[in-house]
Structure 1
Amino acid sequence: MMIQRTLLCVAALMACGPLYAQDFGALRDSYERVKDEPFSKRAAALTNLGKSQTKEAAAYLGRLYQVEKEDNGRRMILRCLGRVGVAPAPSILAKVALNSTVKSDRQVAVASLGQCKPTPPMSIWKGMLEARSASVGVREGAAKSLSRYPPSQDLLRAYAGVLGQEPPPPGQVVTLCREALETILRRDMSLGTWLLGEGLQDEGIEPALPALTEILLSSKSEASKKALPKLLRHDSPKVRAAAARACGKVYQGAGNLDECPQVKELLEDKTEGVRAAALSAIQQIGAQSQALDKLLELAESRNKDMQTVAFSAMIGAKDPAVVEAATKMLEKGKHMPAQAAAIQVLAQSQDKGAIDVLIKRLKKIKGRLKLDILIALARLTQASPGNDYKDWDNWWKEQRAGFTFPDQKRVVTGSAGDNPFERNMSSQVRKSKAPTYYGTEVLSHRIAFVCDISGSMRNPSRTDGKSRIDVLKQELSNVVKGLPSKTAFNIYTFESDWKSWQKNIVKANGKNKKDALDFIANSNATGQTMLFEPLEAALLDPEVDTIYLLSDGAPSRGRFTHGNDILREVARLNRTRRVAIHTIAIGKQSNLMIELARRNGGLTVQR
């Protein structure tokens, strides 16, 4: 009796399990009899072919895919190839993923390849990940699938090869590769040791060293500390710059260069990008006092971009010489980005003399820098007596003698929309004749409005029951109507894609205003949220000095959708531009919008 039950179980398992070579001929013949029928009558025969785990079945299904005309039929064949699993199924699925013009076919091919048993060779996924012609979805799928393989040097090379590509791959792919590398190095610390030793000379690793350097040094391991001097003195300027940036992150707030003294050496580097990275690192570490002479020297450089970066590096330094240099730049300088950085230096100096200087400049300065000074004064004092010279001069004469500085940590790092001085800034501007946009005074004469018109903007607003898109149209139309003729502006809208009203900013004359109002009126809320691309385009307009960015949701489309990636890329684009980015966050509070404004000299409005 027991033997009979065992035989029955074996028979049942064989019936449910894969069909092997001797069965394929019958299954093929069965399908051939119905191959000209509609898909609904062929589906069962196709499903059975997927149970034959033979190379003959894989090759046959591959040929069927090439001649299949129905969408459902093609997708069923791809799923069957995934069930067959054995070669040549993986290579057929990879070919479809890379070459098909039908998005759904590519998606099913990637998913089916992930189901193949035995596991396909790593080289197949690696080829898909590295293929520049592949769609973003396919490369993302390959990046995720490679993470299932055990950590190894080959796996490191697979991800590193992508990070080393020029031009860089799409942002989502870069993010997945970086995250995968971080995970691999956490799971197997010996690989980090190898990378920081022999791996530095590895042909498969070397192109990605700039990207890998920041990941490797963030571990603070003994191996990374030992390799740090070598990376800071590496032959490649990109690696040296990456090592400096990594030091800024790893030793942020340390207050000294004891763990990375070589960073100071990079201030003498022949490559401007390396010097700039070293300056930024010193600012993040808070070690300006250890390199003050060099910072002050670079602040007087003939290179205007280097001036800007040098003053940016001195933000947070509390030294009379720094205040003096920033004062000189603000009073006599001619390069707006460097002056903007100098204002930020004064804004964090906690020096009464800095308030004297800022109020004095408020008497003469106009445009974008006027708002910068108003923000700086508000952050220094947590007061907002008004928006012109007389208001501040009268207030300061009464307060100066007994004035004590507020807690700067709360003022500088707090959520912009929650601080009392930010709310005062929004209320005080109503005294001015300048146009306002969501309650914020528009003082700049070179403006880009970057506006979210995704589907969620159809939701009701918090105030009067109108939809968010209707409120946006009203606010944008009003500010355009109120712009002085000397102002130049542009409008960017984004949803699943983005577009701009003009290629670059144009004068706010009557004709352009009418065209802009038509552009606004014809904008409809639809799709998802591609935030980074239009923001990048606005930053790349060399004439723009102020951006107003409005959004009601998290980014969901485009090269970069993660907040940290967007902040990193904006910092790179804005390093020498110092474009002010003011943000209007619609609906729930957005850390991304708050940080974009805080890190780029702007205000955040929450609506």
Structure 2
Amino acid sequence: MTTRTPRFLAAATLAGLAVLAPVLGAEFSEGEDAQPKLADLAEQLQDKDAAKRRRAVRQLAELGGRKAWELVLGALDDEKGQVADEAQLRLADLDEAKLLRGLLGREGLRSKDEWRRWRVAETFGRMTLEVPAEDLVKAVGVRDDQLSEMLLWSLERLAVDQRLVGDVARCGREVKRLVTRRGAARVRAQALCTLARMDLDAALGLARKFEGDRDPLLRAAALEVSLLGEEQAALGACRRLLADESSSVRAVALDGLGEIGNLAAFSLVIERLESEERTRLAARALEILQDLSGMKYRADPRPWRLWVQGQSAGFVPRRGGATTESVTTAALAGLPLESDRLAILIDFSGSLWYEREGRPARKLQVDKLMRESLPRLTEATWFNLIPYTKEPHPWRPELVRATPRNIKAAMADFEAAKMRGSGNVFDAVLLALEDPAVDRVLIFTDGAPTGGRRWNMELIVPLLEQAARWRHIAYDAVLVDTPPGLARRWGDLCQRTGGRSLAVDL
């Protein structure tokens, strides 16, 4: 990863600000009253306290004007995630069309710094300004897959919000070529979903073809696109892929049937409930049946079939009838472990080790919870433990079977673990997702990301949701003494991915 000196963070005085004028090459809109405040905020960007630098970024965005926005842009390079994330969030409110052009060039998408490129690429998708479609499509390259995925994701969001300008039809044809050419599966999957928002008919035609692709990510993306089409065609796509060899594709098919919600879809979900071997998908099938019917039958398919037979052709799904009961007896701190391909992440940041008056450190209590929960995993389950501080510390490089021997070894190593530091949850989750077998990630945390490049939950939630897309991974969270605002963010992430969150007091 390359590093660069922040171009505008050196502007700590009025003299430094004066140097920016020839760089930007125009008169600025700020009045004389704004100059002292601008200089003060520029100086605060040099403060050793990251919280003060973050506040300065927020105030610069509120101040507005081209000079202020240039300083916000420079803050993308701050070494602290809370500052750089704040700059990334605030850039979406950019109101200077001329400065927008700069983001398409060396100060943004063509920067030598990969993190600046990625941050700017994501920001385009949240912008309130209209964005030229051609420029974003041209920036999609073959050497930076993450940049390409972020740009295509931004194009998708801009198309949904009708904020793309220019020759969108031509850009749609370029995106279509990205789907069909060789390249990273995630980039092609995102290109297909982006195309669906630019030219649905073209995307539906490709989706039928890619239902048979060798890569499950493309099959899942194809099904996601098919669900945007006519109901009967969408039902047919779900029927064809409901028994796919990939659990991720089957998960998309199940959710699609839940969205369709008619009796034909209901009957297909019953079929999947009867034959599904994966714990998480069986639980999801049952949840869909209960949600659509309002009935509380369990996993036996027979009462469900009888119920369907008693419904008229004018059946209308009830929605909202799903039970909170679990299909498994394994749980961590009361949260069911509804997966047989499970990664458990544990936050080892400072709050785990605090010595509290009259109460033991939380680490001892978490040790006890692990001793209670891990032995309940069946031997059909594969699992891994990933404690994390500034970096993740996986117990094993990939999931292992929950045999008594492995459970014993995992508990011993976990209780012996003494690492301490900040809590970089974002990188820990990405590491867990590197294992292609994982279908559920449970995060045991105080809720506050405190290390690494990602700090702000307003960004982390959509980014982790995007990371799980097409693999249909669910996130669960056990939140220990988490402030209400952060708990809502975690709850949103879990709900949006089919998981659960639980607040506990330890």
Same fold (TM over 0.5): yes
Q: Which residue is 1:229 aligned to? A: 134
1:250 aligns with 2:158: yes
Find the partner of 1:449 among 335, 344, 349. Answer: 344
Residue number among 110, 114, 117 corresponding to 1:206 in the alignment: 110
Q: How does 1:38-437 map to 2 (within 5 A)?
A: 119=16, 151=66, 155=70, 159=74, 171-172=81-82, 174-179=84-89, 181-182=91-92, 185-186=94-95, 188-192=96-100, 194-195=101-102, 200=104, 206-207=110-111, 211-212=119-120, 215-216=123-124, 218-219=126-127, 221=129, 224=131, 227-233=132-138, 236=141, 242-252=150-160, 260-262=168-170, 264-265=172-173, 266-269=175-178, 270=181, 271-272=183-184, 273-281=186-194, 291-315=203-227, 319-331=231-243, 333-367=244-278, 368-390=280-302, 392-398=304-310, 403-406=315-318, 421=322, 424-425=323-324, 427-429=325-327, 434-437=329-332
Deviation at residue 371 of structure 1 after TM alignment: 2.4
Unaligned runs of 5+ in 2: 24-46
Query: How much does 1:475 deviate?
Result: 3.8
Letter of the 1:602 counterpart:
G
Quick one: distance in 2 between partners of 1:257 and 1:397?
Answer: 51
Matched, 1:601 2:498: yes
Q: Could you tell which deviates more after superposition, 502-511 or 435-444?
A: 435-444
Rounded to whole Å, the distance in 2 between the matches of 1:486 and 1:379 is: 28
**Contact 1:453–1:493 under 8 Å retained in 2:** yes
Written as runs of structure 1 = structure 2, the 5 A alignment for 1:582-593 is 582-587=476-481, 590-593=487-490
The structure-2 alpha-carbon separation of the partners of 1:533 and 1:160, relative to structure 1 and needing over 3 Å to count, comes to: closer
Kept after mapping to 2: 8 A contact 1:231/1:243: yes
Q: Contact 1:217–1:228 (CA<8 Å) still a contact in 2?
A: no
Residues 524 and 485 from structure 1, CA distance in 2 versus in 1: closer, same or farther, beyond 3 angstroms? Answer: same
1:176/1:479 CA distance change after superposition, 3 Å: same
Counterpart position of 1:29: none
Give 1:545's aligned residue. Answer: 439
Deviation at 1:358, TM superposition (A): 1.2
The answer on 1:534 being equivalent to 2:438 is: no
Residues 350, 421 of structure 2: 8 Å contact kept:
yes
For residues 353-378 of structure 1, the C-alpha deviation after alignment (integer angstroms, 9 at most, x for no partner) is 12111111111211232223233334
- Per the alignment, residue 31 of structure 2 pairs with none
| Structure 2 residue identity aligned to 1:341 | V
Aligned position for 2:26: none
Distance in 2, Cα, partners of 1:205 & 1:507: 43
SS of the equivalent of 1:578 reads coil
Measured after TM superposition, the shift of residue 324 of structure 1 is 1.4
Q: 1:157 to 1:497 in 2, by over 3 A?
A: closer
CA positional deviation for 1:253: 6.7
Q: Could you say which residue in structure 2 is the equivalent of 1:39?
A: none
- Mapped to 2, the partners of 1:115 and 1:214 lie a distance apart of 28
2:464 aligned partner = 570
CA deviations on 1:233-259 (whole Å, 9 max, x unpaired) are 5573567755542233234377x9999
Specify the code of the residue in structure 2 equivalent to 1:366.
Answer: E
Distance 1:122 1:544, change over 3 A: farther
Cα distance change, pair 275–457 in 1 and its aligned pair in 2 (3 A): same
In 2: Cα distance, 1:335 partner to 1:304 partner = 6
Quote how far apart the aligned CAs of 1:210 are: 6.5
Q: Structure 2: how far apart are the matches of 1:253 and 1:534?
A: 32
CA contact (8 A) 1:231 1:240 kept: no
Kept in 2, the 8 Å contact 1:448–1:544? The answer is yes
Instruction: State the secondary structure of the residue aligned to 1:246.
Output: helix
CA contact (8 A) 1:160 1:204 kept: no
Amino acid paired to 2:271: K
**Worse-superposed segment, 150-159 or 555-564:** 150-159
Q: Are the aligned partners of 2:85 and 2:455 in contact in 1 as well (CA < 8 Å)? A: no
Q: Distance in 1 between matches of 2:229 and 2:372?
A: 41
CA contact (8 A) 2:238 2:254 kept: yes
Unaligned 5+ runs, structure 1: 1-97, 100-110, 127-135, 164-168, 412-419
Q: 1:486 to 1:296 in 2, by over 3 A?
A: same
Q: Aligned to 1:363, what secondary structure does the other structure show?
A: helix
Measure the CA separation in 1 of the matches of 2:90 and 2:51. 12
Q: CA deviation at 1:474?
A: 4.0
The change in CA–CA distance for 1:337 and 1:526 in structure 2 (over 3 A counts) is: same
- Count residues with an aligned counterpart: 450
State the 1:313 CA deviation. Answer: 3.5
CA distance in 1, matches of 2:161, 2:105: 32
Q: Counterpart of 1:75?
A: none
User: Are 1:263 and 1:278, in contact at CA under 8 Å, matched by a contact in 2?
Assistant: no
Aligned mates of 1:380, 1:341 — CA distance in 2: 17
Superposition TM-score, scaled by structure 1 size? 0.61
Per-residue deviation, 1:481: 0.7
Distance 1:261 1:437, change over 3 A: farther
Structure with the larger helix share: 1
2:257 partner letter: L
- Partners of 1:117 and 1:233 in 2: CA distance: 38
User: Is this contact kept in 1: 2:346–2:387, CA < 8 A?
Assistant: yes
Write the letter of the residue equivalent to 1:356: S
Distance 1:383 1:538, change over 3 A: farther
For 1:462-519, what per-residue CA distance to the aligned partner results, in whole angstroms no more than 9, with x for missing partners?
xxx9986566444432331122223221112245664332232222222221122223
**Matched-pair contact (CA < 8 Å) for 1:308–1:338:** yes
In 1, Cα distance between equivalents of 2:54 and 2:354: 36
Do 1:157 and 1:204's aligned partners in 2 also have CA atoms closer than 8 Å?
no
Q: Distance in 1 between matches of 2:354 and 2:53?
A: 36
CA distance in 2, matches of 1:211, 1:454: 26
Identity of aligned residues (%): 19
Query: Could you tell me which residue of structure 1 aligns to residue 27 of structure 2?
Result: none
Q: 1:448 to 1:322 in 2, by over 3 A?
A: same
Which range moved further: 141-150 or 360-369? Answer: 141-150
Q: Which has the higher contact order (CA 8 A, sep 6+)?
A: 2
Q: Which residue of 2 is the match for residue 49 of structure 1?
A: none
Cα gap change, 1:302 to 1:216, in 2 (>3 Å)? closer
Amino acid at match of 1:246: S
Amino acid aligned to 1:311: L
